[in-house]
Amino acid sequence: MSEQPTPSSFDNFDEFATDYRQIHNENIKLTGADSQYFSEFKVKWLREYYGRKQPGAILDLGAGDGTCLTYFSQYFPQARLSGIDVSEKSIEEAAAKKIPNAEVQAYDGAQIPYTDNKFDLILVATVMHHIRFDLHPGLMKEALRVLKPGGKIFIVEHNPYNPVTMHMVNTCPFDVDAVLLKPGYTKKLLKQAGFKSAVNHFTLFFPRGGVFKAFHPLEKFLEFIPIGGQYVTVGEK
């Protein structure tokens, strides 16, 4: 029997819930953008990935203060949105946003509180490196359980092979004990959990401000080069 999560199994985000955005923005100012930009970037990336297709039910696993859910409500307006997090204070922040078509709740980090085959899309955005590695397999099996057949999970993680990313992680107050996941690890994790496929896409190759904006359209042609600031591992049930 696998070990059940305890409060110490996860980084404590309750202490950062109120000031999370301010702390994060200070930490990432080198990129030329703020945390809201990167939350929207993730959801816009998903919108482009799906094209005209509209997932009916979306789960933000590790939703924090609900910022990504806010953008999901804009870019996927017809979807039913759900968000869960182990941080009760962060979920309170999310609930206060009153996001259209969204429900949020705290959970224990072990069993995802939804029935089998419920979601078309699960986003796990920069969450996994805050969870003990021995708990990863159980969490991914839970994600597989609540995905519909053909549904997809998107794990967004910081790329440990990018030196700028590593600098920001090493100087971030809530990443003090973080151990970043290598791209090959996340692919293997999904396949071992039972996903039928897993593919990595690399993103954020250039700073986001100034003259570098001209290079952003090139990033979609570079997504299989493993030096982007973040990567997305896409797994299909």
Q: Which is it for the CA torsion 169, 187, 5, 57, positive or negative?
A: positive
Domain ranges of the chain: 11-236
- For position 7, what pLDDT does the model report? 35
Residue whose pair of structure tokens reads 């109120």 in the numeric block: 18
What is the architecture, at CATH level 2, of domain 11-236?
A: 3-Layer(aba) Sandwich (3.40)
pLDDT at 186: 98
Is residue 99 within 8 A of residue 74, CB to CB? The reply is no
Dihedral of CA atoms 80, 122, 131, 178 in degrees, nearest 10, equals -110
Write down the pLDDT at residue 9.
45
Residues 114, 169: Cα–Cα separation, whole Å: 32
pLDDT at residue 3 in the model: 42
SS (H, E, C) 21-87: HHHHHHHCHHHCCCHHHHHHHHHHHHHHHHCCCCCCEEEEECCCCCHHHHHHHHHCCCCEEEEEECC
Distance CA 168, CA 213 (A): 21
Instruction: Give residue 14's pLDDT.
Output: 56
What is the spatial distance between Cα 181 and Cα 154, in angstroms, rounded to a whole number?
Answer: 14
**Contact at 8 Å (CB) between 90 and 65?**
yes
The tens place of each residue's pLDDT in the chain, 237 residues long, gives 334 443 334 445 555 555 666 766 666 766 777 788 999 999 999 999 999 999 999 999 999 999 999 999 999 999 999 999 999 999 999 999 999 999 999 999 999 999 999 999 999 999 999 999 999 999 999 999 999 999 999 999 999 999 999 988 888 877 777 889 999 999 999 999 999 999 999 999 999 988 999 999 999 999 999 999 999 999 999
- Look at residue 19 in the predicted model and tell me its pLDDT: 63
Q: Say how far apart CA 197 and CA 234 lie, in whole Å.
A: 8
What are the φ/ψ torsions at residue 222 (nearest 5 degrees)?
Answer: -110, 5
Q: Which strands form 80-85's sheet, in the order they lie side by side?
A: 102-106, 80-85, 57-61, 119-125, 147-158, 230-236, 197-203
Report residue 124 as tokens: 């796990």
- pLDDT confidence of residue 24: 64
